[in-house]
């Protein structure tokens, strides 16, 4: 049964994936994008909060839902 389902879904999975060739060309030339201001992307994430701490070095700290620091 599973092979039949896999064979039925495989073409749609392969056709749904589009490759951005311009982005791949840039990566091949080591032109990796770097974000200078991550604050522009904050609205794209529903559970992300940006807190500015004056006088501290910029650091990314990820917390789980228990507010424990992730490694």
Residues 7-54: tens digit of each pLDDT = 777 777 666 667 777 766 666 666 556 666 777 777 877 777 777 778
**CA terminus-to-terminus distance, the chain:** 41
Would you say residue 68 has pLDDT above 80? yes
Q: What is the pLDDT of residue 49?
A: 76
What's the pLDDT score for residue 5?
A: 73
CB contact set of 36 (below 8 Å; sequence gap of 6+): none
Domain ranges of the chain: 2-39
Taking 80 as the threshold, does the pLDDT of residue 66 lie above it? Answer: yes
- Predicted pLDDT at 29: 65
């Amino acid at each position: 049964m599973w092979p039949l389902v896999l064979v039925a879904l495989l073409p749609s999975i392969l056709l749904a994936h589009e490759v951005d060739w311009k982005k791949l060309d840039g990566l091949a030339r080591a032109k990796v994008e770097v974000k200078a201001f991550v604050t522009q992307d904050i609205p794209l994430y529903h559970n992300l909060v940006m807190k500015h701490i004056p006088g501290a070095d910029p650091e990314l700290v990820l917390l789980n839902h228990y507010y424990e620091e992730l490694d």
